[in-house]
Structure 1
Amino acid sequence: MRALIVDDEALARSKLLRMLRVFPDVEVVGEAIDGATALTLAEQLRPDVIFLDVQMPEVDGFDVAASLPDDAPALVFVTAFDQYALRAFDAQAVDYLLKPVEPERLARTVQRLRASVRVTPRPSVGAPAQLMIVDRGQTHIVRCAEIEWLEAADNYVNIHLPGRSLLMRRTLTALLNDLDPMFVRTHRGAAVALAAVLAVRPEGKGDATVVLRSGAEVPCSRQHRAALMQRLQR
Structure 2
Amino acid sequence: MRVLIVDDERPARDKLQRMLELEPDITAIERACDGVDALEQCAAFLPDVAFLDIQMPEVSGIELAASLPAPAPLVVFVTAYDQYALQAFDANAIDYLLKPYDQDRLQRTLARVRDRLRARESPRLSTLPVRQLLVSERGVTRVVKVDDIAWIETADNYVVLHTPGAQPLLRQTLTGLLGQLGGALVRCHRRAAVRPELVERIVSLDKGDCELVLRGGARVPCSRQYRAALMDRLQGQA
TM-score, normalisation: structure 1 = 0.67
Relative to structure 1, the CA distance from residue 112 to residue 152 in structure 2 (aligned partners, 3 Å threshold; closer, same or farther) is farther
CA distance in 2, matches of 1:84, 1:111: 22
Relative to structure 1, the CA distance from residue 32 to residue 185 in structure 2 (aligned partners, 3 Å threshold; closer, same or farther) is closer
CA distance in 1, matches of 2:235, 2:83: 40
Aligned-pair distance for 1:43?
Answer: 1.6
**Alignment-mate amino acid for residue 72 of structure 2:** A
More off after superposition, 1-10 vs 158-167:
158-167
1:107 aligns with 2:119: no
Identity %: 41
Aligned-pair distance for 1:66?
Answer: 2.4
| Counterpart contact for 1:2–1:49, Cα < 8 Å | yes
1:22 aligns with 2:22: yes
Q: Which runs of 5+ in 2 are unaligned?
A: 204-211, 223-229
Aligned-pair distance for 1:145?
Answer: 6.6
In the other structure, the counterpart of 2:38 is 38
Over aligned residue pairs, what C-alpha RMSD do you find?
Answer: 3.9
**Alignment-mate amino acid for residue 110 of structure 2:** V
Counterpart mapping for 1:145-224 below 5 A? 148-151=149-152, 159-161=161-163, 162=166, 165-168=169-172, 172=178, 175=181, 189-191=193-195, 201-203=200-202, 209-212=213-216, 216-218=218-220, 222-223=234-235
Aligned-pair distance for 1:76?
Answer: 0.9
| Counterpart contact for 1:211–1:217, Cα < 8 Å | no
Relative to structure 1, the CA distance from residue 201 to residue 27 in structure 2 (aligned partners, 3 Å threshold; closer, same or farther) is closer
| Counterpart contact for 1:5–1:28, Cα < 8 Å | no
Relative to structure 1, the CA distance from residue 163 to residue 157 in structure 2 (aligned partners, 3 Å threshold; closer, same or farther) is closer
Aligned-pair distance for 1:203?
Answer: 4.8
CA distance in 1, matches of 2:41, 2:101: 24
| Residues matched between the structures, number | 205
Relative to structure 1, the CA distance from residue 23 to residue 163 in structure 2 (aligned partners, 3 Å threshold; closer, same or farther) is closer
CA distances 1:69-90 after superposition (whole Å, capped 9, x unpaired): 1112111111112222222223
Query: As a proportion of its length, which structure holds more strand?
Result: 1
CA distance in 2, matches of 1:75, 1:17: 16
CA distance in 1, matches of 2:128, 2:77: 13
Counterpart mapping for 1:29-108 below 5 A? 29-108=29-108
| Counterpart contact for 2:7–2:32, Cα < 8 Å | yes
Q: Between Structure 1 and Structure 2, whose CA radius of gyration is higher?
A: 2
In the other structure, the counterpart of 2:9 is 9
| Counterpart contact for 2:135–2:168, Cα < 8 Å | no
**Alignment-mate amino acid for residue 166 of structure 1:** L
Q: Which runs of 5+ in 1 are unaligned?
A: 178-183, 227-234
CA distance in 2, matches of 1:27, 1:54: 25
TM-score, normalisation: structure 2 = 0.66
